[in-house]
Amino acid sequence: MLRLPALALSAALAALTLPAAPPAQAAGSITCKMRYSLTGWSVFYKRASGTGTVSCSNGQRMAVRLTARGGGPTVGKYTIPNGFGEFAGVTTIRDVLGTYASAGADAAAGKAATAQAMTKGDVSLALSGKGEGWNLGVAFTGFTIEAR
C-alpha cells in the first residue's frame, strides 16, 4: 500500500522537472510587420486610405490596401507617409487580412506622432507612425487590410 503514494509522488516530481511545452498557437506563430502610408480626413465621419507591404518571419510578403472608416466627434486632415505596424497571433500571412476594431482619441497639429492598437479575433495589430496634419476628437474605427 505504501508503494502507490510513493509512485504517485515520483511521477509528480518527474513532471515538475520536465520543461513546459509551449502553447499550440505559439508553436505555429510567425512574426509579421507592415510598412504603410495613410492619408485621411474627418468631419464627424472618419475616413482614411493607403497602401502597405506586410513581411513575415517565414519569408512571406504581401502588398496590401488599407482603409479606415468610423464615426464620432472628430475633425481633421492628416498624412502618415512612413508608418509601421506589428502583428501578433499570426500563423500565416493571410491572417493579417480583414477588419480590425479600434477606438481612439486624437489631438495633433503640424508634425505629429500616432500610435494605435486594434484586434481582429486572435490577431492583434499595433500601429505607429509620424506624419503631418491636424486632428481633434474621438472616433470608433474599423481598420481594413485587403490584398492588392
Alpha-carbon separation of residue 98 from 39, 74, 124, 125 (angstroms): 19, 24, 11, 11
Question: Which of 10, 51, 13, 22 has the alpha carbon at shortest distance from 34?
Answer: 51
Structure confidence by residue, pLDDT tens digits, 83-109: 999 999 999 999 999 999 986 655 556
Separation of alpha carbons 128 and 47, rounded Å: 18
Domain ranges of the chain: 22-147
Separation of alpha carbons 79 and 91, rounded Å: 31
Written as nine digits, the cell of 87 is 502583428
For the cut 60, the answer to whether the pLDDT of residue 135 exceeds it is: yes
Residue in this structure with the C-alpha cell 505559439, named with its chain if needed: 26
35-44, 93-102, 113-122, 134-143: lowest mean pLDDT where? 134-143
Separation of alpha carbons 94 and 51, rounded Å: 16
pLDDT level of residue 55 (50, 70, 90 thresholds): very high
Which is higher by pLDDT, 31 or 103?
31
Structure confidence by residue, pLDDT tens digits, 65-87: 999 888 766 778 888 899 999 99
